[in-house]
Amino acid sequence: MSTKIPKFVCRNGEIVPSDEATVSVFNPAVFSAFGVYETLLVWDDVIFHPAEHLNRLWRSAIAIGLPFPWGAEEIVVWLSQVKEANEFHRGRLKVIVIGPPPGEDSPLCFSWPWPEMEIPERAYEAGVSTITFKATRFMPQAKTMNTLPNLMAKNAARASNAHEALLVNFREEITEGATSNFFAVREGKLLHAPENEILTGVTMSLVLEMAKRLGIPVEETPLPADQIESWDETFITSTSRKVLPVTSIDGKPVGDGKVGEITQALMAEFEREFEAYIQAHKEGDESGS
Ligand code: PMP
């Protein structure tokens, strides 16, 4: 069994040993991916922006017609409980809502701790390499269990020794990463794909607010893959990575192949805000956003 498997899982508010956290083969999540999920970051016992993640979980459920009978506060309590039961202080929390099981009306909510994504410091200093991968996510604004395109893209990245795969749609435009949002910088302007074609990341939203405060102009625009050479900088964002520079796509350097100025400014600002958030929530109200 993977060492990542935690001792305890929370099932609809009840802490159970992880080998009891099972799902029937008849659950519609198995055959039809009828479910939604979130990944949250925990640092020094503080959950980073839980309200935003749980709001997106709820919106994703509504989008696919999955009943969602709980309030965000209730799920935050469950997350704290499963964190404590596993004596978990840093890393990620996974939450899935699936079902309902056959013959039942209520869905199942499972949550559990998961280790941090291991990213060497050097990746933030020198940037990572990526590949492009032809795939389109179904209902991209919802974070559903229909993650086959993400999985295949991630496998392709791994096979090429790349950190991430960038999804390319049928119009040959880069939309987002397999598990991240994608940004490009051209002539001082921050570019990102149209939001109706991507998952609006919690990290992405924070980065867009920071860009505004730092006076960096932002444009929501298609990002044709044949324009990669016109970009000076690129980076990806996600809960697990924060802001991570991308210095190569499909084996070719982006810009001069070094981490650019705007990427550096946003990385530094994100780190500052992250630290401030964790400090502010350490002994206080963890349920706040
Ligand atoms: N797009 C996709 C397809 C993802 O899986 C993720 C990871 N949740 C993101 C974007 C980034 O979202 P967030 O910043 O909320 O982690």
Q: Which CATH number do you get for residue 147?
A: 3.20.10.10
Per-residue model confidence as pLDDT tens digits over 263-287: 999 999 999 999 999 999 997 554 4
- Exposed/middle/buried for residue 239 (C-beta within 10 Å: 0-12, 13-18, 19+): buried
**Which of 12-16, 79-83, 183-187, 279-283 has the least mean pLDDT?**
279-283
In order of 40, 95, 197, the CA distances from 220 in angstroms are: 26, 30, 11
Residue 181 Cα, ligand 1 centroid: separation in angstroms? 6
Owning domain of residue 243: 121-275
Q: Is the CB of 27 under 6 A from ligand 1?
A: no
Cα angle 206-59-165, degrees, rounded to a multiple of 5 = 60
Same domain? 93 vs 133:
no
Is 289 a residue whose pLDDT tops 50?
no
- Asked whether residue 32 falls in the same domain as residue 67, the answer is yes
Domain membership of residue 245 (yes or no) is yes
Give tens-digit pLDDT for 24-56: 999 999 999 999 999 999 999 999 999 999 999
Mutual orientation of helices 50-64 and 72-85 as an angle, nearest 10°? 120
Residue owning tokens 């991630």: 154
Give the Å distance between the CA of 201 and the centre of ligand 1. 5
286 located within any domain: no
Does 288 score more than 90 pLDDT? no
Instruction: Centre a 10 Å sphere on the Cβ of residue 98 and count the other Cβ atoms it contains.
Output: 22
In a domain, 280, yes or no: no
pLDDT for the residue 97: 98
Q: Say if 129 falls within a structural domain.
A: yes
**Do 110 and 133 fall within a single domain?**
no
Checking phi first, is residue 9 left (phi over 0); if not, alpha (psi -120 to 50) or beta?
beta
Residue 219 confidence (pLDDT): 98
Q: What's the whole-model pTM score? A: 0.96
Tell whether 61 is covered by a domain: yes
| % the chain with pLDDT above 70 | 97
Q: Which atom of ligand 1 is nearest to the CA of 239?
A: 16
